[in-house]
Amino acid sequence: MATSTNGEDEQKGGGGSSSSSSTIHAKTLLKSESLYHYILETSVDPREPECLRELRRISAAHPRNIMTSAPDEVQFFGMLLKILNAKNTIELGVFTGYSLLATALALPHDGKILALDTNRESYELGLPVIHKAGVAHKIDFREGPALPVLDQLLADEKNKGTLDFAFVDADKSNYLNYHERLVELVRVGGVIAYDNTLWEGTVAAPPDAPLSERDRMISEIMRAFNSVIAADPRVEISHLSIADGYILETSVDPREPECLRELRRISAAHPRGVMASAPDEVQFLGMLLKILNAKNTIEVGVFTGYSLLATALALPHDGKILALDTNRESYELGLPVIHKAGVAHKIDFREGPALPLLDQLLANEKNKGTLDFAFVDADKTNYLNYHERLVELVRVGGVIAYDNTLWGGTVAAPPDAPLSERDRMLSEMTRAFNSTVAADPRVEISHLSIADGLTLCRRLG
C-alpha cells in the first residue's frame, strides 16, 4: 500500500500458485486454515452485506476463483475508503467485481469508480448483484488494456491529482508502468493499493526453491516492483501481511527513521522485548494516522515508547498523545530517543492504571468524541473495559486499534491444544473480546493478520 506524498497472467492477476480448490483463501499467507477462518468468522461474516456475500459465492464458483480478492482484504479496503473520505477511485483488474462492489458500497452516493479490465465476461457475472445493490451508477467499466486509458487520462492536466484511491490487482508485468501513471493521478495523501506483492511468499524464496517457471518469473517481477517503490520518494509505503524478513527489508528498513530504528534496537534488547510492537505494524499505523489527519490521540500501554514515537512522528507539530502505562521505568529507556527526535512536546505520559484516567476524561462531557485515534496494547483482561470507554472518547470516523487480537494464533486452537494456563486464559479473553466487537453496532471492524493480530474499530455515527 502506497500513499502519495507529493500479460502472462490475466489483467486481474492471480494470487500465486495455490490450488483453487483449497478451503483456505488462495490469496492469504496464513497457512493455518483454522486461524484464517477464525478471522473471517469474527470480522467478515458478522458484517459482510448480503450482496457482497452473494458475489463472493459467485466468484468462488468460478473456475478461476483464485483471481478474486480475499474477503478480509476487501473488508479492510471498505474501511480505508471511508477513512480517506474517498469519492473518486480507480480499479485496475476487476474479475467478477467483488472488490469493486465493496468499493462502490463504501463510496458516497455520488462517488465514482473507473473500473478497467480486459475481460467483460467475468465482470458481467457479478453485474446483476451490483445492480441489485443499487450502486451500478457509481461504476464506469471499460474493457481493454489499462495503460492506454491511464495515458489518456494523463493527457489532460485536469485529471492529475484527482483520484483518492486506486486498487491494482492486474497483470504483474505492468505494475511499475501502472505505478508511474497512478502516482500522478492520485492526489497528495491519496492511496494506491497493490495486491499480490508477496506472490504467495515466493519473493523470499531461496534461488533453488522448486518454483514453476511462471511463478519464478512473476516472483522476480514482484521483487523488482517492491524494491522500486521502497525507494520511491514520492510515496510512503506499508507492506501488509504477517511479519517476515522480506517485508521488513523492502518496506520498513528503507524508510524507518533513524530514531525509530534506534528505539527498536533498545526495545529488542529489553528482557521483555516481546512487548514491543512489530515494526511493520508500527509503519502501517504511522500511515493510518496521516490518512486520518489525526491530531489528538491516546495510547494505552507504552512500554519503551517505540509505537508511541512512531505516532508522535506522524502527528503534526501541535498534535497530542495521552500515553498511559503502569511502568514509567520502561518508558524512560526510550525517552532520550524521543527527545532527540524532537517530538517529546507532543506526549503527555501518565503513570498508573488506565481505567481511572479514562473515567476521569469521560466525567467531562467536553472530552467525548475528541480523539482521532487510540492504540491499545495493554492488559488483555481489560480490553472490553477499554473499548467501552474509548468508543465514547473517539470521534465519529475515528479509529481504535487493538493489538494482539490473535494471541499467537491460539484464538483458533482446538480445546485440547497444549497451551500454558496463562495462554489459555488470555486466549479465551481475546476470543470474548473479538466476539463482542464483532457484534458492536457502534463500530465497523477490520481484523488484520499483521503482527499478532490488529483489530481496527472505526466509530460509526
pLDDT of residue 244: 38
Alpha-carbon span 322 to 334, nearest angstrom = 16
Chosen CATH of 259-459 out of 3.40.50.720, 3.40.50.150, 3.20.20.80, 3.40.50.1820 = 3.40.50.150
pLDDT of residue 33: 81
Topology of 2-253 in CATH?
Rossmann fold (3.40.50)
Pick from 58-72, 165-179, 348-362: least confident: 58-72
Do β-strands 88-92 and 296-300 pair in parallel, antiparallel, or remain unpaired? unpaired
The pLDDT tens digits of the residues spanning 101-121 come to: 999 999 999 999 999 999 999
Q: Whats the size of the chain, residue-wise?
A: 461
The pLDDT tens digits of the residues spanning 328-358 come to: 999 999 999 999 999 999 999 999 999 999 9
Closest by CA to 169, choosing from 140, 136, 197, 127, is: 197
The pLDDT tens digits of the residues spanning 244-287 come to: 344 555 576 778 899 999 999 999 899 887 888 888 889 899 99
pLDDT of residue 410: 84
Alpha-carbon span 401 to 289, nearest angstrom = 11
Contact predicate 138/107, CB 8 Å:
yes
Residue 376 has pLDDT above 50, yes or no: yes
User: What Cα–Cα distance (Å) separates residue 125 from each residue in 12, 25, 66, 112?
Assistant: 15, 20, 16, 21
pLDDT of residue 9: 40
Describe the strand order of the beta sheet including 394-403 as a list of residue ranges: 347-351, 320-325, 296-300, 371-376, 394-403, 454-459, 443-448
pLDDT of residue 6: 58
Q: Out of 31-35, 291-295, 413-417, give the one with best mean pLDDT.
A: 291-295
**Residue position matching grid coordinates 530504528:** 261
CATH 3.40.50.150 spans which residues of the chain?
Answer: 2-253, 259-459
Do β-strands 394-403 and 454-459 pair in parallel, antiparallel, or remain unpaired? antiparallel
Pick from 66-70, 85-89, 359-363: least confident: 66-70
Amino acid in the structure at residue 381? T
Cell numbers for 3, please give them: 500513499
Contact predicate 69/169, CB 8 Å:
yes
206 CB-near residues (< 8 Å, 6+ apart): none
Do β-strands 235-237 and 186-194 pair in parallel, antiparallel, or remain unpaired? unpaired
pTM score, two decimals? 0.87
Alpha-carbon span 461 to 442, nearest angstrom = 7
Q: Is 434 exposed, middle or buried (0-12, 13-18, 19+ CB in 10 A)?
A: buried
